[in-house]
Amino acid sequence: LQLATSAGVAATTVGCRRGHDASAGAPGDASRRLHERLLTLDTHLDTPANLASPGWDIMRRHDVRVDLSQVDYPRMVSGGLDGGFWAIYTPQGPRTPEGEARARDEALQTAVRIREMVASHPRRFEIALRADDAPAIAARGKRVVFLSIENGYPLGHDLTLLRTFYELGVRMVGPVHFLDNDLGDSSTDPKGKEWQGLSPLGKRFVAEANRLGMVLDASHASDDVLDQLIDLSKTPVILSHSGCKAVFDHPRNVDDDRLRRLAASGGVIQLNSLGDYLIASTKDPLRKQAVEQLMARYGSWHELGPDARARFVRERRDIDGAYPAPRATLDDFMRHVFHALQVVGPDHVGIGADWDGGGGVVGLEDVGEIPRITERLLAAGYSEDDLAKIWSGNVLRILRAVEAAKPTAASADAAR
C-alpha cells in the first residue's frame, strides 16, 4: 500500500484522463465472456483502508475521479473481479513498545473491519480460509475475501500474535513495508540495510508462518530478504504486488535472476500497477513541495469525509496541471506483465495491482477495467488455460502447498 496516510497521493498523479475514450479500448465480447468464466483474484487489495473512512460504503459505486477509490462491490461485479487478498496494512511507525502496541491494535481493528464488511453483506462476500474455498465462494455468486498482512510491524516482538491473526483468517503475510523493521530490511529504506536481510526474529517469523500455514510475501522486502525467504521457507514464496527491474529499475522491482530463482522454488510474481514503479517519474522539487503542503493541510486521507476528499482531489489535480508529470499507462503495466511471462512463464505470474494502495494507470484506472488485462493477454496469444493460472491458479497452487506443508496436529504434538 502506498495510499494510506496519503503517501501514495504524493507520488502518483491523480487519474483524470479516463472517460473521453472509455469505449475505444472496450474489451470484445469473446474476451469479456472468457474473463467472466475465469476465477479472478487480485493478491493485493488495499481497500480495507477505505472501510474506515467516514461515509464510504463498499456496496455503493464510487468514482475514482472523485474520491480516488478503486474497489467496491459494484465495480468488482462490473469488472469481473471475484475477489482477492484484502490487506491489513499498517504504516511503519516507531519501533518502541508504545508504537508496537498501537500498530497491533490498529491491525486487529482492520482485521475485524474486514470481517464486519463480510458479516454485514453475507450474500455478497464470504471469507476464504483455504484455496478450495475460493472457487466454491465464486460459484455461490459471492466475492472471495482472503485476508493478508502488509507489514509485520504490528507483531512487534511477539510472534504468538501471528496465530491470533491466523485465527482471524490471515493466510498471507509480508514482513516489511517502506522501512526496515525488527523483522528485516525493506527495499526502500533511505537509511539502507539494517540486517542484511531478515533479522534473527524475522527468521523465526518465517518458521512460524510456515508452521501456521501462511503464504510468505516478499513484496516491499529487500532483495536479501527475498533470497532468504526462498532459502528458509518450506513453501513457495509470493511477490503479492511487485514489478520487473529489467523493465524499470526501481528498488521495489525484482531482477530476472531472482525471478527465475523464485519460479524454480515454485513461487509467483503478481504484477503491480503503481505508476512510479512502472516508469520513471518526475523529480520536480516544486511539485513535491506543493503535494506535501496539500497533504499537510488535509491530514490523514482515511479520516476525510466525501466532501473533503473531493476537494482534496480537485486541489491535487490543480497541482498536476501546474507541474505536469508523466503518467504510466496500461501499456506500461502490460510491459511488466509480459516481461515476467517471458522470463518465468504463465505458471509463475499473476496480478496484484495495488488497488486502493497507489495502483492504477491510464487505461486501467479502477477494478472495473481489469477485463482489459484479459483482453491484452489473449491478444498476445495466451490461452484460456494460461489465463486461468495467471488470474488465480498460481496463487491458489501456492496456498495449497502451504496447506499441505502445515504440520498436522499429531505431528505438531510429536515435535513438542
Q: Where on the chain is the footprint of Zn ion (CB under 5 A)?
A: 1
Q: Where are the beta strands (DSSP E) in 257-360?
A: 268-271, 349-351
CB atoms within 10 A of CB 307: 9
**Which triple of cell numbers denotes residue 304?**
476525510
Enclosing H/E stretch for 8: helix 7-11
State in angstroms the smallest separation of the CB of 220 from Zn ion.
Answer: 6
User: Is-contact 365 15, C-beta < 8 A?
Assistant: yes
CA 360 distance to own-chain centroid: 12
Angle at 183 (CA atoms; ends 181, 184), nearest 5 degrees: 70
Give the SS3 label for residue 83.
strand
Residue with smaller CB distance to Zn ion, 83 or 359: 359
SS3 per-residue string spanning 98-143: HHHHHHHHHHHHHHHHHHHHHHHCCCCEEECCCCCHHHHHHHCCCE
Q: 242 - beta bridge partners?
A: 271
Any residues with CB less than 8 A from the CB of 28 and at least 6 apart, and which?
375
Residue with smaller CB distance to Zn ion, 1 or 362: 1
Residue with smaller CB distance to Zn ion, 170 or 290: 170
CA distance linking residue 274 with residue 235, whole number of Å: 27
Question: Residues 126-144, buried b or exposed e (16+ Cβ, 10 A)?
Answer: bbbbebebbeebbeeebbb
Angle at 143 (CA atoms; ends 170, 141), nearest 5 degrees: 140
**Which triple of cell numbers denotes residue 312?**
482534496
Q: DSSP labels for 163-217? A: HHHHHTTEEEEES-SSS--SSB-BSS-TT--SSSSB-HHHHHHHHHHHHHT-EEB
State in angstroms the smallest separation of the CB of 24 from Zn ion.
Answer: 31
Residue of 370, 305, 330, 300 whose CA lies nearest to 40: 370
Give the SS3 label for residue 370.
coil
